[in-house]
Amino acid sequence: MSASTLGTLFTVTTFGESHGKAIGCVVDGCPPGLSLSESDIQPELDRRRPGASPYVTQREEADRVNILSGVYEGKTTGTPVALLIENTGQRSSDYDVLATVFRPGHADYTYWQKYGIRDPRGGGRASARLTAPLVAAGAIAGKWLHEQYGTVVRACLGQLGDIPVPFRAWEYTDDNPFFAASDDVALLSRLGERLDMLRVEGDSIGARVDVVAQSVPVGWGDPLYAKLDAMIARAMMGINAVKGVEIGAGFRVVSRLGSENSDALTPEGFAGNEAGGILGGISTGQDIVVSLAAKPTPSIRKPRQTIDTAGNPRTLETPGRHDPCVGIRAVPVAQAMLKLVLMDAALRHRAQCADVQRTTRDISR
């Protein structure tokens, strides 16, 4: 299987480097008959886009998506949907020094050692820019899931550095530049100030992102090795900068008793959702709840010790325009990732189990 492909039945094969001619993806396996145009996809890309707020990198990337194939007279035909995003606004000269010096904490060194060659412009293939095609593909998956099952996938910033961002309501996530599910003015100010300060200092900070899928039918996910939680973990851990993934109660389970952690079943529904909507790798019908930890951007202006390709010691102040908190932009990306995983699981499920007659009521409905 291509390492640039995500999914088994609903597949997304991406291509491109940060400062190449274009980036994009081929989305295959989409059911036919779905209404689809660029206007279904562009808003999702715009949410992820650099320059969209003062708190993310100020690179200007128009990120205009172009559907090249797979849609006829406004509907998907069941053939591959190719999405193209031409690269504009690159300032490759920013990166000249990076051709020979490795950024600490970045993929520079490992790509160089693995392939013996790398495109250093803007991080090349390892750039967070490569999440754009996934966000675009996620928009397709999200539309289909919503039309078929009413599924809604949302994400928000859960914590920025040591500042927790308590959840108030989903509706607020697009009203502030942090994807905070909050309208707490003091909190939002504090987030802004922290990021302003980091920008001044040339430093960066980590974040936690929370993702929730609602109205996911019971039964999705394929044990033992395509479990829904396993596939979510793979997708999330593959997002740039992510170092941890939790489902439901996550690491809090470590210090819990069995008698307090499991979610009782009642005729009226589950009495809790510590499991995060997944048991045995299969969706329970409850909300799917995922959290992830994004490390602080390793591309910072503060000087750090490193080496160059000749192995000599160097001090690097990473040039270019970078996010002080890459975790913010990870919000729409994680949201897209969950859509993609759910879509694939939905198709896999109906391939094998389309005929199953349930004899027990779905208690989550």
Could you tell me the CA-to-CA distances from 220 to 205, 225, 334, 349, 351 in Å, in that order?
Answer: 35, 13, 19, 6, 11
For tokens 């969706």, name the residue. Answer: 283
Residues 6+ away with beta carbon under 8 Å from 281: 221, 222, 223, 224, 226, 227, 228, 229, 230
The amino acid that residue 304 corresponds to is R
Pick from 109, 128, 148: which is nearest to 297 by CA?
A: 128
- Smallest gap from residue 161 Cβ to a copy of itself (A): 5
Q: Residue 124 and residue 240: Cα distance in Å, rounded?
A: 13
The nearer residue to a copy of itself, 192 or 244, going by C-beta atoms, is 244
The nearer residue to a copy of itself, 153 or 157, going by C-beta atoms, is 157
The nearer residue to a copy of itself, 279 or 336, going by C-beta atoms, is 279
The nearer residue to a copy of itself, 186 or 264, going by C-beta atoms, is 264
Q: Residue 181 and residue 168: Cα distance in Å, rounded?
A: 6
Q: Residue 254 and residue 18: Cα distance in Å, rounded?
A: 40
CB 139 within 8 A of CB 37: no
Residues 6+ away with beta carbon under 8 Å from 158: 164, 165, 167, 207, 208, 209, 210, 291
- Smallest gap from residue 327 Cβ to a copy of itself (A): 8
CB-based burial label for 39 (10 Å; 0-12, 13-18, 19+): exposed
For tokens 């909300």, name the residue. Answer: 287
Q: Residue 41 and residue 92: Cα distance in Å, rounded?
A: 27
The nearer residue to a copy of itself, 171 or 271, going by C-beta atoms, is 271
- Smallest gap from residue 266 Cβ to a copy of itself (A): 6
- Smallest gap from residue 276 Cβ to a copy of itself (A): 7
Token pair for residue 293?
Answer: 């930890």
Q: Residue 268 and residue 245: Cα distance in Å, rounded?
A: 30
The nearer residue to a copy of itself, 185 or 360, going by C-beta atoms, is 360
- Smallest gap from residue 172 Cβ to a copy of itself (A): 21
State phi, psi for 340 to the nearest 5 degrees.
Answer: -65, -40
The nearer residue to a copy of itself, 28 or 61, going by C-beta atoms, is 28
The nearer residue to a copy of itself, 91 or 304, going by C-beta atoms, is 304
